[in-house]
Structure 1
Amino acid sequence: MRKTERADSGDSQRLTGAISVAAILLFVGIGSTVLSQLVGQQLGTRDGADEILVIALLLNTALILIGWRRHAGLVGQVRGHAEAEARARALAARDPLTGFHNRRSLADEGAAMLVDAERRGKATALMMLDLDHFKSVNDMHGHAVGDTLLRIVAQEVTAITPTSALHARLGGDEFAIAMVFDSSAPEVVERVAERLVARLAQPFDAEGQKLHISCSLGLARSDFGSRSIEALMRAGDIAMYAAKKSGRNRFAWFDESMERELKARNDLEQGLRIAIPGGQIVPYFEQQIDLATGALTGFEVLARWEHPTRGVIGPDRFIPIAEETGMIADLSLSIMRQAFTAARDWDQALTLSVNISPWQLRDAWLAQKIIKTLTETGFPASRLEIEITESALFDNLALAQSIAGSLKNQGVRLALDDFGTGYSSLAHLRALPFDRIKIDKSFVTSINEAPDSAAIVTAIVRLGESLNLPVTAEGVEDGAIAARLIAMGCAKAQGWHYGKPLSPVGVRSLLAERHLIVGAAPATSNVEPITSRRRAG
């Protein structure tokens, strides 16, 4: 459309110009004749000017004036179009909220910066900056406050970075900064990154709200293999993800190991999307022991990925990915369904403990989904204990209370998991109707070497006694730890001292050996001490 308009405008200008030129030539011809007649009249050699020629001259003058005005109007119109196009190009190249370059113009300007830096024997650094917890600002205070915060951040970025730097907002709360530096002095770039991280960790006032955020910042440099702006942006993005994964509120330089790690993670993510519906994620069972009697009382359900080519993959490698990608809900319910089905015909005194991810507690229908799974598998709710970590209560305590209440109404028991690693607040013990406290293994494993750990475990056991909440210790790896826990009065324990987590086949073999499969053999007693029957697998 614009090309057509420019073509039409050009044709009009040429036509108007041609008419004007012709009128001027005609004016010169007619004017010279009329002028000579007038001169002759004054000298007495002629009677006067020809009326027709005079009229033609006047009409010709009018035509010249009209043509000139038309030409001036067209010139103004063309200039207006040019200015409008220039403004449109400027708007297309800039982020309207911050005034920074957008992704497309950063690519163009960044490419020019790279060429200029290389010509001068220097390097280009690209910083990919992502705001931490920005989504919470939008959710809690609205997008108007979020936009104001983004403008303030842009001002701070401009103030801290060199005047020659390129600034871009890539969308949302992600920014990019490109700057030229001497390749022998990367500390110049690091100082800028440190100042950015430090400033963005300070509180901001936006629309009357005091806001706390931070940033994760990834650094990449052109002299380390990233020869294009696209390669720099990718490397910086990978480094930024690494900084975020390391705890946020920091910066990290890109190195190739990060790219390999990211590829491995992406491979796991893609594999996980197939593994969950394909039944490759299966339950393993860790024994839980009554310390007073040595009896097997139940199992904690753990997830293992039985990969067709890589063997068994531990949960520490795939659970975080499942949480980040939202697959944790399907994974958890799949594990529950398999575990409940496997445990239906076990001795009815044996319980199952299942850990719930903090991400799942954001689902208002979680209790109904668990109850539905119990009903469909025929597993009694009274034999199920749901473990909730203390950190999971901070996101939405009211929703957690609602979910816990629905589960408790069906007979499901609740345990506060990893107690001692969070705020360990009595308010959290009172907020939900917990039936048990579980001590994190980080304290239990060092109970005989670290006096601080022993003191913490003792305090938690005493707290449990005062609140009438039995305590389970995780991470019992040897008899000395078990003996220390018994002396402290701890109720239950679990860990490799009692055997490694068992597959469904392995646990069934163990229970059949102890006559704890209903209907498999005459039941004897389900309080048989297991310390003399410890299994390694």
Structure 2
Amino acid sequence: MIETLKQSDRSTGAKRDVVAGGIVVAAILLFVGTGSTVMQAVVNTMIGIGGGPDRALAAAMVLNVALILFGWRRYEDLNREIRERTEAEQRARYLADTDPLTGFLNRRSLLATGQQQIAKAIADKRHVALFLLDLDHFKTVNDIHGHAAGDRVLQVAAERMSAILPPNATKARLGGDEFVAMLAFEPSARATIDALAAELVAALETSVTHDAQQIRIGASLGIALADDASVTMETMVRQADIAMYNCKDEGRNRFCWFEPGMEMAVQVRNQIETGIREGMPRGEFVPHFEPQVDIASGRLVGFEMLMRWESLEYGMIPPERFIPVAEESGLIGELSLQVIRHAMEIAKSWDPSILLAVNISPQQLKDPWFSQKLTKLLVEVGFPASQLEVEITESSLFENLPLVRSIVTSLKNQGVSLSLDDFGTGYSSLSHLRALPFDRIKIDRSFVAAMRGSPDAQAIVVAIVRLGESLAMPITAEGVEDEATAIELTRLGCAKGQGWYFGRAASAADTERLLADRGLLRTSMLPPTSPDTGSDTGGAEPLRKTA
């Protein structure tokens, strides 16, 4: 309808222009015919010959002059209108094809022109590489520094790409923090494409300055190849996207080419994400509990909650399969709190001396409301804050230290204990240990497992134990798998340990039986028919690895 009206307006304007043009042409012809007669009569009058020009002819000439002036003015108006319309169409075409923030092509324009570029390159016996580049942790930039900072990061990323890519490369922003670059190359020059990709990743690793703040960014870059005319733009973008996500799975801040096996991995990942979304309301995610003991006496002092997925469709799925997917998809926060609630409900029946330790994902520490959510959970369940220990990996401290400090301080004020997990694998400094109110340090299992055969690993363990002593922070060792390791850790002064030597992670039912055997269940929670469990032992019997 709108297009019909526009065509009608153009048709009416064209008719007016034709009429105006006809009037002007007629006026010029009449002027030629009347002008000479009138002007001759005027001249004769001036030299005393004749009685002056005919009034009717003089009026006609004046009218002709007015019509000619009108025509000239209309001609100028038409020229100006054509120029303005042409400029408006060019602006509209630019806005329709271009991302206004970066000046790159947008998705629609890329898909429209990319296929032609592929066809031309293949006809010239050349290949086409498509880079799909995604900025790492860009959502965190917006959340922490604001959208103005996010826009600045995108503009800087576009500027750095333009400075590195050759002038003939096609550059586009697909949306959000995803960029695409296309360039044709000789089949023998694939190493050049690798060098360009590596240079792009390195350039985007450099921090961006905004409002006197240094914003750290990085990039994951996937590359797809078109080596025959049958490859479509949609296929190339999808393949590059798959390769890019493979880079993220391998640690981010790198590039890789698409390989056919990656597509299967994406399908598996999508199945896992769908399974998580469907399994959460069905209660398929349950807590298991790994014992923590006092190494010197073998006394049970707590449990670390470990998440397990008892899928109705796929069976038991280990956490290393689904937790990375939950983190990438943004489901980890809701999933973690759901399982922590379940664990608290179970741990309410434990003796108050038994701590419940829960791991917190780095993604959850980006949520400014996390401490309030966990505090609300404690109140709703009725679980004592003093019986809860929150474990935070040291790599989480570098995402946004002020926010992490606010969260851990709030939890500490509620009476929750705090443990720095996986110590030695990240980049913690003494200033962080002093600035944040941690109660305990956990040595990563990789050092504990290697300490018997590696003097370097043993030296690291000794250094961490001594560091804990100097800061008055007890040490927990993970991955204790044999008696010799337990004895050595005791000699070094390590307070707590966990690992297969003391017992594997067990279900809630098995954990309850273990606690009942040691008299470590609240009396009010015991069933009426429970036999005497020998509570006078105080749970002092050491836990040992079973055959």
User: For the superposition of Structure 1 and Structure 2, which TM-score range results when normalised by the shorter chain?
Assistant: 0.7 to 0.9
Task: Kindly state the Cα deviation for residue 250 of structure 1 after the two structures are TM-superposed.
Answer: 1.9
Gaps of 5+ in 2: 45-50
* 2:539 paired residue number: 527
Partners in 1 of 2:490 and 2:253 — Cα distance?
A: 43
**AA paired with 1:262?**
V
Partners in 1 of 2:211 and 2:540 — Cα distance?
A: 66
**Is 1:259 matched with 2:271?**
no
Partners of 2:118 and 2:229 within 8 A in 1: no
Q: Per the alignment, in what secondary structure is the counterpart of residue 289 of structure 1?
A: strand
Q: Per the alignment, in what secondary structure is the counterpart of residue 220 of structure 1?
A: strand
2:115 to 105, 111, 117: 111
* 1:161 paired residue number: 165
**Normalization by structure 1: what TM-score?**
0.85
**Is 1:200 matched with 2:204?**
yes
Task: Kindly state the Cα deviation for residue 283 of structure 1 after the two structures are TM-superposed.
Answer: 0.3
Partners in 1 of 2:468 and 2:339 — Cα distance?
A: 30
1:145-167 deviations in whole A, cap 9, x for unaligned?
A: 65555444434323322222112
Task: Kindly state the Cα deviation for residue 447 of structure 1 after the two structures are TM-superposed.
Answer: 1.5
Partners of 1:13 and 1:71 within 8 A in 2: no
1:311-356 deviations in whole A, cap 9, x for unaligned?
A: 1112222223333333323222222221222233334433221122
Q: 1:203 to 1:505 in 2, by over 3 A?
A: closer
1:79-105 deviations in whole A, cap 9, x for unaligned?
A: 431232123212332233333222222
* 2:362 paired residue number: 358
Q: 1:185 to 1:51 in 2, by over 3 A?
A: same
Partners of 2:300 and 2:543 within 8 A in 1: no
1:206-285 residue pairs with structure 2 within 5 A?
Answer: 212-223=216-227, 227-285=231-289
Partners in 1 of 2:34 and 2:315 — Cα distance?
A: 103
Q: 1:326 to 1:10 in 2, by over 3 A?
A: same
Count of residues in Structure 1 that have an aligned counterpart in Structure 2: 527
Partners in 2 of 1:361 and 1:55 — Cα distance?
A: 90
* 1:89 paired residue number: 93
1:487-532 deviations in whole A, cap 9, x for unaligned?
A: 3232222112233211112223333444544433323124343456
Partners in 1 of 2:164 and 2:348 — Cα distance?
A: 63
Gaps of 5+ in 1: 42-46
1:463-503 deviations in whole A, cap 9, x for unaligned?
A: 33344433221112233322332332322221122332111
Partners in 2 of 1:209 and 1:490 — Cα distance?
A: 41
Q: Per the alignment, in what secondary structure is the counterpart of residue 189 of structure 2?
A: coil
Partners of 2:122 and 2:229 within 8 A in 1: no
1:57-136 residue pairs with structure 2 within 5 A?
Answer: 59=63, 62-63=66-67, 66-67=70-71, 69-132=73-136
Partners of 2:35 and 2:61 within 8 A in 1: no
Task: Kindly state the Cα deviation for residue 444 of structure 1 after the two structures are TM-superposed.
Answer: 0.9
* 1:476 paired residue number: 480
Q: Per the alignment, in what secondary structure is the counterpart of residue 497 of structure 1?
A: coil
Q: 1:49 to 1:139 in 2, by over 3 A?
A: same
Q: 1:393 to 1:63 in 2, by over 3 A?
A: closer
Partners of 1:296 and 1:526 within 8 A in 2: no
* 2:453 paired residue number: 449
**AA paired with 1:494?**
Q
Partners of 1:387 and 1:416 within 8 A in 2: yes
Partners of 2:518 and 2:539 within 8 A in 1: no
* 1:333 paired residue number: 337
Q: Per the alignment, in what secondary structure is the counterpart of residue 498 of structure 1?
A: coil
Task: Kindly state the Cα deviation for residue 4 of structure 1 after the two structures are TM-superposed.
Answer: 4.5
* 1:175 paired residue number: 179
Q: 1:208 to 1:411 in 2, by over 3 A?
A: closer
Q: Per the alignment, in what secondary structure is the counterpart of residue 437 of structure 1?
A: strand
Q: 1:226 to 1:85 in 2, by over 3 A?
A: same
**AA paired with 2:442?**
K
* 1:293 paired residue number: 297
**AA paired with 1:473?**
A
Q: Name the stretch that deviates more: 377-386 or 63-72.
A: 63-72
* 1:342 paired residue number: 346
Partners of 2:122 and 2:228 within 8 A in 1: no
Q: 1:141 to 1:99 in 2, by over 3 A?
A: same
Q: Per the alignment, in what secondary structure is the counterpart of residue 185 of structure 1?
A: helix
Partners of 1:16 and 1:71 within 8 A in 2: no
Partners in 1 of 2:382 and 2:108 — Cα distance?
A: 58
* 1:44 paired residue number: none
Partners in 1 of 2:209 and 2:418 — Cα distance?
A: 41
Partners of 1:290 and 1:491 within 8 A in 2: yes
Partners of 1:291 and 1:490 within 8 A in 2: yes
**Is 1:187 matched with 2:191?**
yes
Q: 1:285 to 1:202 in 2, by over 3 A?
A: closer
Q: Name the stretch that deviates more: 109-118 or 442-451.
A: 109-118
1:247-270 deviations in whole A, cap 9, x for unaligned?
A: 333211122222322232222222
Task: Kindly state the Cα deviation for residue 419 of structure 1 after the two structures are TM-superposed.
Answer: 1.7
Partners in 2 of 1:366 and 1:196 — Cα distance?
A: 35
**Is 1:506 matched with 2:510?**
yes
Q: 1:262 to 1:293 in 2, by over 3 A?
A: same
1:154-181 deviations in whole A, cap 9, x for unaligned?
A: 3432332222211223344432211111
Q: Name the stretch that deviates more: 454-463 or 386-395.
A: 386-395
Q: CA RMSD in A?
A: 3.5
1:30-66 deviations in whole A, cap 9, x for unaligned?
A: 669979x99xx9xxxxx99987567656645654553
Partners in 1 of 2:147 and 2:193 — Cα distance?
A: 32
Partners in 1 of 2:327 and 2:458 — Cα distance?
A: 33
**AA paired with 1:227?**
V
Task: Kindly state the Cα deviation for residue 228 of structure 1 after the two structures are TM-superposed.
Answer: 1.9
Partners in 1 of 2:502 and 2:323 — Cα distance?
A: 25
Partners of 2:520 and 2:539 within 8 A in 1: no
Partners in 1 of 2:153 and 2:321 — Cα distance?
A: 35
1:261-307 deviations in whole A, cap 9, x for unaligned?
A: 22322222222122223211100011122222223322111100111
